[in-house]
Structure 1
């Protein structure tokens, strides 16, 4: 569909609604598999470690290479969606993701699995910003678009809820490879649904790729993650870790310099002049950092400290993950009733309460007491994603929807990668494991309260 067609100005209402349903079905399905592969791997960590003879640092790479590739390439994915059409890039990304999933399932060693996870993340980086761009085109009215984004995010929340349990069931019935091979039928269905969507007649904007900026962004983030993962193993003052930190800082500075001096930057810094845009990016990153980091360390706690099986670990996560979908579904309605500013502040406060509740219950080593604060964390995560996404997408014009979506999702995935790396480093450095987990929870509560304060001071006024 071209822009005028996407806006529904020349279509009959039934035809426009039919196209909207097709778009929403296709993009929601892709978001499900992307989020599944962010969460489903956590319950397989012990089985992967045993099968491939790996340690905690290697397990962090199995989780983080996917997130790192996704975060690093999302900006390029948004640019490609704007340049070559959202539908075309979405199809390409979903095809790459599906093929890479098959390769993950067939991997015979750790190196092959990590390379396949990188390709998985690359495919996801193409399809995620394209999916939001398709929503922006198909739902031109702000109210309809917010509802569609709520449904899209709700599917992601459902995937987050189902991920650990689905992974536990698949591993119980088959083995750890099945968590990747299960993506194949879903990916093929998504490709079929997307082929039924009309493509753009011409690109919305002839945006250019930025190879130099892309390489600098990848280098900055990869070096930082590597330093955080290797720090507890090699020592924070060791030469390799210090060199990686220095490389990350230098590459980040080069990236910002390149972006500030170009008319069509991969990361348009001018977008951050808008308070709603900046606020959405900030809270999305903080939410992903604390949530995904916590899921990683709790997976290790359940499997290594409490000796839970993958299936029991998946069940143990249900109080945390099940409320993500509920929060996503209610977010738009609550934002209309109380305002996005109040809703996000309440969600971040709910996060902090959940982290402090976990801190108190960990000392008992009783699962049911541990489970009591989990719904607060999951519900808060579900509320933030659609509220921040809708607020950000409302600030940009249609021809910049792809790159804006890329910025938001890149911030979210960067936060997830940093959460896994930082929290993994904390539990590896602070002994015993329970003391490291206490440190993680204190850090999580502090970071979320700081984000709430920043939001309240005007990053996202109503």
Structure 2
């Protein structure tokens, strides 16, 4: 096997793991929430703890690769990813799990930008490079499709620890392959890293996301909320001060200063804001309300991932023909339609209606995400394609983290408001404060409580779906006008 093919295979291994990680975690959440009796806030932070360091260190990972060598930094990140996945599988309580997930996100930040950089550098010929990037993209899609099935099998064998154990074993194998096959090519470049700015960004985002997740029902935990707001605002102001005085800003301000690119980044954030919570809380619905086994949870999650994979090339072609603005608007409309269909089908239980809704949501995301890549490629300067891709990836991850937090608040609010007075009188205060403590299987001794809590969860999830996708439509309207005012939305006619 040639050197460039070995490099592509080695990078594909790590990229597959990073892409499958989202689905693997989603499949593990229902069993994790039931066994550990997690509150809604804890469940949200199992997800957010991974996404937060990824979105706050993504640009720094690329800069470190430019300075120290892509191979060296990639191997370091993959080793951290493997160690953290092992710690996740061995975690004895939710706090240990959340800490391990944060460490895993730190390692996972290198998987997407550095694998693409290695693949591009290993294929200097333009035609070979195009084929390699296509294979890289297909590998990411394959990970998203295979994730639910692999996670379901692991969950069936070893419970919620199984998906994390699979990730750990796969990471070790990926490290071995990369160590043996990745070429040690490095052209030393000077790139801004700004670790203090990265830490301030992470602290500001953590404060904001914690403030969103502590909203429980109709009451606000004011001390927690005030503390989170102070941390978020303080870190944000400090970050603003530092970046304004920096000689080499670390956050691609020259790109975000362009209205068109800023609109595309906002749209990417909104797309994954709506889809991030959808993925995780639909999995919880399947496990806790529908009371499905892990294999069936994986089966019902696969259609959305498959639709994303199949719709991606279609979205790219449509974007080339009709322009990015048209495709992005249609993608947002399709996702909103899918959310409405799913909210209408929740009370009926899993079936063809929910599969159709997931297909529509996945197709919208796949087409919209692909159109974003094409649009950003036209908008960014020729010297900034890597930076533009990294900023877009960070926007996606940030949107997913915010989406988890907002879904958590909406779900708990809708759950507490929908729970009947009769069921409320039979539940403890802790049970009332979370939408996850009671499931039909665990409340079988009292069918009235079982039915009431299932209906309340459906009401909460409906509120979360409609609220999140309404925000997506609103952001689409804002971005639509901004994009239209700053650059052509169709490719120029020859």
- Fold match (TM-score > 0.5): yes
Distance in 2 (alpha carbons) for counterparts of 1:76 and 1:296:
28
**Is the aligned partner of 1:413 residue 2:397?**
yes
**Is the aligned partner of 1:179 residue 2:163?**
yes
Of the structure 1 ranges 312-321 and 114-123, higher mean CA displacement relative to structure 2 is found in: 312-321
RMSD between superposed Cα atoms in Å: 2.8
How do 1:99-248 and structure 2 match up within 5 A?
99-138=83-122, 148-195=132-179, 196-203=181-188, 205-232=189-216, 235-236=219-220, 238-248=222-232
2:360 match: secondary structure? helix
How do 1:370-449 and structure 2 match up within 5 A?
370-392=354-376, 403-431=387-415, 432-449=456-473
The two structures have a TM-score, normalised by structure 2, of 0.81
**Is the aligned partner of 1:347 residue 2:371?**
no
Residue number among 238, 255, 264 corresponding to 1:271 in the alignment = 255
1:420 is displaced (CA, Å) by 0.9
Distance in 2 (alpha carbons) for counterparts of 1:140 and 1:332:
24
Distance in 2 (alpha carbons) for counterparts of 1:217 and 1:274:
21
How do 1:8-27 and structure 2 match up within 5 A?
18=2, 20-27=4-11
Distance in 1 (alpha carbons) for counterparts of 2:141 and 2:119:
18
Specify the alignment match of 1:56 in structure 2: 40
Contact in 1 for aligned 2:407/2:468 (Cα 8 Å): no
Residues 341 and 419 (structure 1 numbering): CA distance in 2 closer, same or farther, change over 3 Å? same
Distance in 2 (alpha carbons) for counterparts of 1:436 and 1:51:
22
1:150 is displaced (CA, Å) by 4.7
Residues 170 and 217 (structure 1 numbering): CA distance in 2 closer, same or farther, change over 3 Å? same
Distance in 2 (alpha carbons) for counterparts of 1:383 and 1:308:
30
1:312 is displaced (CA, Å) by 1.9
Distance in 2 (alpha carbons) for counterparts of 1:282 and 1:140:
32
1:277 is displaced (CA, Å) by 3.0
Residues 401 and 186 (structure 1 numbering): CA distance in 2 closer, same or farther, change over 3 Å? farther
How do 1:77-116 and structure 2 match up within 5 A?
77-116=61-100
Residues 387 and 140 (structure 1 numbering): CA distance in 2 closer, same or farther, change over 3 Å? farther
* Long gaps (5+) in structure 1: 1-14
Residue number among 473, 481, 487 corresponding to 1:457 in the alignment = 481
1:394 is displaced (CA, Å) by 5.9
Distance in 1 (alpha carbons) for counterparts of 2:403 and 2:251:
22
Distance in 1 (alpha carbons) for counterparts of 2:71 and 2:259:
30
Specify the alignment match of 1:325 in structure 2: 309
Contact in 2 for aligned 1:136/1:401 (Cα 8 Å): no
Q: Tell me the matched-pair count.
A: 445
Structure number with larger C-alpha Rg: 2
Residue number among 263, 286, 289 corresponding to 1:305 in the alignment = 289
1:207 match: secondary structure? coil
Contact in 2 for aligned 1:332/1:386 (Cα 8 Å): yes
Residues 108 and 398 (structure 1 numbering): CA distance in 2 closer, same or farther, change over 3 Å? farther
Contact in 1 for aligned 2:70/2:186 (Cα 8 Å): no
For 1:284-316, what per-residue CA distance to the aligned partner results, in whole angstroms no more than 9, with x for missing partners? Answer: 211211111111221222222222222222122
Residues 365 and 381 (structure 1 numbering): CA distance in 2 closer, same or farther, change over 3 Å? same
2:110 match: secondary structure? helix
Contact in 1 for aligned 2:336/2:473 (Cα 8 Å): yes
1:20 is displaced (CA, Å) by 4.8
For 1:191-213, what per-residue CA distance to the aligned partner results, in whole angstroms no more than 9, with x for missing partners? Answer: 3443423333322x312321321
**Is the aligned partner of 1:35 residue 2:19?**
yes
Specify the alignment match of 2:236 in structure 1: 252
For 1:320-344, what per-residue CA distance to the aligned partner results, in whole angstroms no more than 9, with x for missing partners? Answer: 2221221234444443444434332
For 1:220-258, what per-residue CA distance to the aligned partner results, in whole angstroms no more than 9, with x for missing partners? Answer: 111111111122179326121122123212322322332
1:199 match: secondary structure? coil
Distance in 1 (alpha carbons) for counterparts of 2:255 and 2:69:
21
Specify the alignment match of 2:442 in structure 1: none
